[in-house]
Amino acid sequence: MSAQSARSVIAEEVQRFDALGESWWDENGPMAPLHRLTPVRVAWALDALARRFHREAEAGLPLSGLTILDVGCGGGLFAEPLARLGGDVLGIDPAPASIGVARRHAEATGARLEYRVATVEEMAAGADKFDVVTAMEVVEHVADPARFVAEAASLLKPGGIFLASTVNRTLRSFVLAIVGAEYILRWIEPGTHRWEQFVTPEELTLAARQAGLKGIERKGVSYDPLRRSWRLTDDLGVNYQLAAKKPA
């Protein structure tokens, strides 16, 4: 089975991201919103992981010794910072050109992590289990989010943590994430998101529960146009993140 024909994959979605090439890492390019989101989502992930694994978030390499699978890693915008925090990171994506970009970037910056062209299904068919599985801005691009979450959760060791971020399916997310971000501000390529594919916090929570995960925590992320940056909020109406634990 090729990565592109896996059940979770919507071929045109993967191809659209694969076509980004080197612009993945252009902070002013089509992935600019993800670049701006990265400090906030990395801080959120570090906080969740430090609490779970009893690490000092301010320590030199707070994630050292933790195996992390970043599913749908794209160009490595989230995977690479986790590796810099000491995580033993494997980034996977069905898009081969994106994996090439991620590898070259890590080589250029000296970040130490691994990348592989693979889907969550292929990983789940193998024997490797991870302390942490992440899927950042991915579930709104897959064929069957609940099934995808179940496959991702199956890759966790007992006591492991699942982290995901996505976009809620609300009137506000239509106005802000599609009309605003794609068509008015042109922050991201028009057509990047389909509103119908957005995933509500209730759906993602249910999927996590059905996958056997517990201790579910959710946090909103909102864009502050004055500061031109994202911040964590309790408002799950547009962008949000979820953390959940596999029972030990």
The reply to whether 13 sits near Mg ion by the rule CB under 5 A is no
The reply to whether 13 sits near ligand SAM by the rule CB under 6 A is yes
Q: Is the dihedral of CA 152, 153, 159, 164 positive or negative?
A: positive
Give the Cα separation of 140 and 194 in Å (integer). 8
Residue 71 or 236 with smaller CB distance to ligand SAM:
71
Q: Which stretch, 64-72, 110-118, 131-139, 142-150, contacts Mg ion (CB under 5 A)?
A: 131-139
Q: Which of 92, 137, 153, 187 binds Mg ion (CB under 5 A)?
A: 137
Reported as type and span, the H/E element at residue 232 is: strand 229-233
Give the Cα separation of 40 and 230 in Å (integer). 7
Give the Cα separation of 51 and 83 in Å (integer). 18
Size of the site for ligand SAM (CB under 6 A): 23
| 87 marked among binding-site residues | no
- The distance in angstroms from the start CA to the end CA of the chain is 32
| 1 marked among binding-site residues | no
State the minimum distance, in angstroms, from the CB of residue 137 to ligand SAM: 4
Residue 77 or 208 with smaller CB distance to ligand SAM:
77
Q: Is the dihedral of CA 230, 233, 236, 237 positive or negative?
A: negative
The reply to whether 166 sits near ligand SAM by the rule CB under 6 A is no
State the minimum distance, in angstroms, from the CB of residue 91 to ligand SAM: 8
Contact 80, 73 (CB under 8 A): no
Burial (CB < 10 A; 0-12, 13-18, 19+), residue 110, is exposed
State the minimum distance, in angstroms, from the CB of residue 214 to ligand SAM: 24
Residue 69 or 71 with smaller CB distance to ligand SAM:
71
The reply to whether 138 sits near ligand SAM by the rule CB under 6 A is yes
Q: Which stretch, 2-10, 39-47, 132-140, 143-151, contacts Mg ion (CB under 5 A)?
A: 132-140
**Binders of ligand SAM in range 66-95 (CB under 6 A):** 71-74, 77-78, 93-95
Question: Residue 59 corresponds to which tokens in the numbers above?
Answer: 């320590």
**Binders of ligand SAM in range 16-45 (CB under 6 A):** 17, 34
Query: What residues contact 199, with CB distance under 8 A and at least 6 apart?
Result: 139, 140, 145, 166, 167, 168, 169
Residue with token string 């492991």: 160
Feature table: binding site for S-adenosyl-L-methionine? 41, 72, 93, 136
List interacting residues with ligand SAM (CB under 6 A): 8-9, 13-14, 17, 34, 71-74, 77-78, 93-95, 98, 119-120, 136-138, 141-142
List interacting residues with Mg ion (CB under 5 A): 137
